[in-house]
A and B are shown apart, each in its own frame.
Chain A
Amino acid sequence: MASFRQMENDFANLERGTARLNGIRDAIHQADSAQDLRWMFIFRYDYIEESIFCGDRYYAMIMFPELLQIYDEHPELNENDRIAYDMLIVLRWIVEAVQEFPQVSREEIDKYFRLYKRRLLESGYGLNNYYMKRSLVYMHMDRDIAILSYDKFLEIPMDSMSDGKALCTDFMVEFNLYLGNEEKALTLAKPILEGKLRDKINLPHSTQHTFCWYYLQTKEFEKAVPYMIPLEKKVDGDLYHMHHIGAILSLYSRLDVEKGIRLFNRNYHLYLGSKNPWLKFYFISGAVHLFDSMVKNGIGTDLVKVPESPISTAVAEGDTKKVAEILRKECAELAQRFDKRNGTTHFMDWLTMLDD
């Protein structure tokens, strides 16, 4: 049998996403059978990391409780600095991902944040990242908490639990646009967009997406174009960036419907396979905007190519209006779930923002 180290190296040969998650899951079972605590932890960490960055964060949410239990039940893991740090990193990912699941109540989200805060303080870290994540997560749940947290994030110095400077700057861009400070956001974004501040996974596309998101809301579609074009190249076909694709679909609904349809065709299967309601919402809201625009402009479904799905019959029948209705219904259901949990109207507002 291959060593656990070898098994971990072999993950690199597996296709990112489902195949790799399945491979790591198998490794977890083997480490569990061998009762090898260290590898029981490491493989679960690998699984959550893969789920967060390349697959579907749903699986990270399922695996996280097991990881925490293993860590808490075995003080010897706690004594290993690397593992203790990794545990906090996972918690950092999870507190950000938790908002994406309306199955998790507001109270439970608060619990996750309390857990993160306590663990940071117990481990001697500052709360810079705690406030950053709290501000980010509460942006569409409680504006006051988001602003207060943002101020604390700026006030508390960064430490090794903080996101990198590039990601922090990206968040500042997002938050300034949230507050309507376009000029300040543009200044902050400059080093990211020029490639001087880098991050391998999220930048500069996250920043480009933020501007697309902003100009969609202000309906200044042409201003989004310089951000949208490079963004599309980077995120097309990527489950992890499905929300970015959704924003591009929304923009194409006003800029170039035909390109929008092609982008939709290439990525609709991601939507069908995803278990992440948040990613699904942002993708399908873009599709709603696109098909609404097709209805308005009398464009048929000739160019639409989709696999077997709730819209495939309507597409085959060339009934654009019916497709738009089915998509809107799916999207509205997701929006209602989020808004109900959050106590706001953000998601429904997003869905209807381009309605005439």
Chain B
Amino acid sequence: MAQPFLFKVNLGGMIDILANHLYSSPDVFVRELLQNGTDAISGRKIFDKNFSEGRITISIEPEKSMIFTDNGTGLTKEEIHQFLAVIGQSSKRDLQTGKILEDYIGRFGIGMLSCFMVTDEIKLRTRSAKVPSHAYEFTGKPDGTYSIIEIPVDSVAIGTAMYVNAKKGCEEYFNEDRVAELVRYYGLPLPFPIMMQSDEGDYRINEMFQATGRNAHENMMQLGKQIFESDFLDCIPLESKSGLFSGVAYILPHAVSLHSKTKHRIYLKNMLLTEDGEAILPKWSGFLRCFLNTSQLRPTASRESFYEDEMLEQAREELSQCISGYLINLSKKNSQLLEDIIQIHFMAIKSMACEDDTFFKTFIPFLKFETNMGELSGKDLLTRHDPISFTQDMNQFHRTSSLMLAQGQLLVNACYVYDASLLRMIQEYDENLIIYPLELIAVDEFLQDPSIDAQVEADDFVQNAKRIFKRFDCDVALKSFSPEQLPVFYMLDENAETLREIQHSKENSNAMFSSMLDAFAEEIGDHKATLFLNWRNPLIRRLIHLSNAEKVKAALEILYVQALLTGRFPLKGDEMALLNNNLIQLIEWGTAE
């Protein structure tokens, strides 16, 4: 059998890994100390059920040193050898079963090493609650050596005191304000006092608000300002019925993109787990910043998120209920505030309304829609008796909105996220409303035929125009429509538009793709593009009676290209040539002597 060998660990190398790869900043040594202190207090509570006065005390000599003291369980001499001197051995693991004990936060037994990022020596004085008759001083160095000496028991209380001296270049981390801020960041909800000893008197760093009582709301708002350094529109208490979480959600006073990542403070057992709420908060909650403490949820191995299980699902559901419940309540008690919130966070609210019938009924009267008649609310749409058409094509909206407005037709721009779904829901909500996509009707139905006399008068002109535009696969029709300033209106169906795109791609690509594009084009079924000439327009009326065929052709071709440009269609090569050639022709005519 081959002789087994042991790995050797280079402690200096490990510290480098911690500092440069595992931890984002040397600041995290505060988190690790806090975590160890918290776990020591939990350990003492397990050992002594009557113990209820856990406390951490921090004392700082600016830019020089820090003493971090807890009155937790402390360590015996054996435990010092076992837990401090063996990397990866955590005192939070039950040595019999190997399992992590429930009340503990830390897991890997490497937290203390993080102190070496800011110090060249870790000194620890400890006295165990289990064996209070002995006390020890441990000194560890980054080269992997350590020593333990027994010290008088009256020199140290039960618990552990860490002495950390700033190493050169790390003085900045030994600053009272900075450490207090970090303690609040990592462990604000911790249920015992974390005290800072200061020349101006000791003070509690993790002072929490009173969630009940007369000033609860003000306290919560104050807390939000303190944590997120921002004012908010309002706050929403988050209390889980099943005890999975508690906290507050703050409503941002400004709009945020639907996909922007809002930073939260999400704690697990009172210690910060993540700023990313994606795993636990509803997908529409981007308008909130949450301060949330969870207790029973399981963290992932990386401790950056929650493990996906039924409990997380339940927490997600309850959080969603807390937030939606608040908003629904607001619609009854403070509709002005709800309107303000919707004005700013309409995307999030639309998303909610699409998700659930109750949300829909609550929010739809307040939601706004862009239409060719200006901005209309859901309430306006719900009380409308005339048909409502909508389009999901921004260009089509711009192309047809004025034309439809002139005929008194309402057109909703449903290009924005959730609008089309909401319109479908409005239709389902009230079956008497007539809501239909614009694609299902022909816009030319809104364009009137001119009188028979007019049609006869213009017939030759129209036939001539049909011949001119045949090569562009475009039909021509004479109609009478408002606004009369509009001489022509170009319209094509979806197939014709796709065909234009295929042709555009073929014109602008390598021959390798020709056969594929040809095959796509061949498969396009019936398609229709039409240039409508407006009988009411004075220019068109003049052109009908113009006898110079060359000038008529040039004018019609320019009007055709202008209609394409107005409709935001990209010009194909031959259409661009049409514009250029005719403009030059017009200039020549205009400047001819």
Contact = CB atoms under 8 A, between A and B. Distances in A.
Contacts of B326: none
Interface in B508-554: 508-510, 512-513, 515-517, 519-520, 523
B433 to A, nearest CB: 17
Contacts of B416: 13-15, 19
B395 A22 contact: yes
B505 A65 contact: yes
Contacts of B517: 62, 65
Contacts, number: 96
B417 A22 contact: no
A103 B257 CA distance: 40
Interface residues of A, number: 36
B258 A22 contact: no
B317 interface: no
A14 B568 contact: no
Interface stretch (A104-112, A145-153, A245-253): A104-112
A104 B516 contact: yes
A65 B258 contact: no
A9 to B, nearest CB: 7
A103 B523 contact: yes
Query: Which of A65, A105, A108 has the most CB atoms of chain B within a 10 A radius of its CB?
Result: A65
A168 interface: no
A112 to B, nearest CB: 9
A124 interface: no
B510 A68 contact: yes
Given A22-B392, A65-B513, A66-B508, A104 B418 contact: no
A18 interface: yes
A62 B345 CA distance: 37
A62 B510 CA distance: 12
B502 interface: yes
Interface in A48-94: 58-59, 61-66, 68-70, 72
B259 interface: yes
B311 interface: no
B181 interface: no
A69 B510 contact: yes
B508 A62 contact: no
A15 B390 CA distance: 13
Contacts of B258: 12-13
A12 B255 CA distance: 14
A199 interface: no
A103 B509 contact: no
A108 B515 contact: yes
B418 A12 contact: no
A22 B393 contact: yes
A62 B501 contact: yes
Contacts of B520: 58, 61-62, 103
B444 interface: no
A108 to B, nearest CB: 6
Given A14-B394, A103-B519, A103-B523, A19 B415 contact: yes
A68 B415 contact: no
Contacts of A195: 308
B316 to A, nearest CB: 14
A69 B394 contact: no
B160 to A, nearest CB: 36
Interface string A274-303: 010000000000000000000000000000
B274 to A, nearest CB: 16
Contacts of B420: 15, 19
Interface in A1-59: 9, 12-16, 18-19, 22-23, 25-26, 28-29, 32, 58-59
B60 to A, nearest CB: 42
A18 B392 contact: yes
B505 A63 contact: yes
B25 to A, nearest CB: 27
B512 A111 contact: yes
B303 to A, nearest CB: 15
17 contacts: A12-B259, A13-B258, A13-B347, A19-B416, A22-B395, A25-B395, A61-B516, A62-B498, A62-B517, A65-B505, A65-B506, A65-B517, A66-B508, A66-B509, A72-B510, A103-B520, A104-B516
Interface of B: 257-259, 308, 347, 392-396, 414-420, 498, 501-502, 504-506, 508-510, 512-513, 515-517, 519-520, 523, 568-570
Given A22-B393, A59-B501, A103-B519, 20 more contacts: A12-B257, A13-B417, A14-B417, A15-B392, A15-B414, A15-B415, A15-B417, A15-B419, A18-B393, A19-B414, A22-B392, A25-B501, A29-B569, A61-B516, A62-B517, A65-B508, A68-B509, A104-B516, A108-B516, A111-B512
- A-B CB proximity, top 4 nearest: A65-B509, A103-B519, A65-B513, A19-B415
